[in-house]
Amino acid sequence: MNRLIKLSISLVVLLFNNLAFAGDSSNQGFDNITLKTTHVRGNIYMLEGVGGFAGGNIGVSAGTDGVLLVDDQMSPMSEKINAAIQDINAGQLRFILNTHWHGDHTGGNEHFSKQATIISHANVRHRMMTDQENFFGKSPARPKEAWPIITFNDAVNIHFNDEDIQFIHYANGHTDGDGVIYFPKSNVAHLGDHFFNGVFPFVDLTTGGNAFKLTENIKTIIDSLPEDALIIPGHGELSDIPGLKTYYKMLTTSTSLVKNMAAKGKTLEEIQQAGLPEEWASWGGGFINEANWIQSIYHSLPK
């Protein structure tokens, strides 16, 4: 592995150890971050950080029954999230759906559990209850107040704000506990970190993720959604089915390339040096660059 790749990985490790997975409780670096509110469709809104890394995109269902959140970003963003919710709907916050266990999507759990019921896949609760160690280092168990109190194995429905909300487990894509949420009346889906819009995704290999399974899951999700659905990604701008299909094309192209080169006996370093087609060059602008993404695919290959 060359020096540039090592440096890039080191920077990613530093970012996520100090922010995403630890659920950093200090406000340092967050004062200048604001939340942009986008009305997606129907009862559904999206909150995204502007001016810095606030965490993953939040989905908001706001209506006569109150408020439901999909994910709750980093812990220092909690009061800003409260303010953004109040601007949308003055009703009570009643539910939080955690798409997976990472702290950039669950950092606000401890704060919001005082007023809302937290729901997740069973593996999310398990990983938050216990110490974890992955590519980014050690992540201590979260306080009990942050743990989801309702869990499911395959799927659960939440009947709220005139929506029969579907919360469905898609195993071993990003992690082993990821759930996708679909609001059928509004025709909006929140994909959590199964979908990084316009950038290479992070696949948490150590906690059950796999690049090939991620690709398979995205195809299943595309086939399950209406063609005019709008898509909230875990990271990146609001999208739609054509945008999700572009992401799927990137996944299939890159996973097939790495698989074929590895089958020919190429090493990881040789595949990284060859790189991906120029079409995907701009996708390395996130915290996972091209070399990191190729590495994730390579280590997702059957042993």
Annotated domain spans of the chain: 3-298
Q: What's residue 170's pLDDT?
A: 98
Query: Helix crossing, 290-298 with 241-263: angle to 10°?
Result: 60
Rounded to two decimals, the pTM is 0.91
**Tens-digit pLDDT profile for residues 127-143:** 999 999 877 778 899 99
Range 3-298 has CATH code 3.30.390.30: no
Q: What's residue 11's pLDDT?
A: 35
**Tens-digit pLDDT profile for residues 80-107:** 999 999 999 889 999 999 999 999 999 9
Contact 139, 131 (CB under 8 A): yes
Q: Which residues of the chain have pLDDT under 70?
A: 1-28
Element (H, E) at 59: strand 58-63
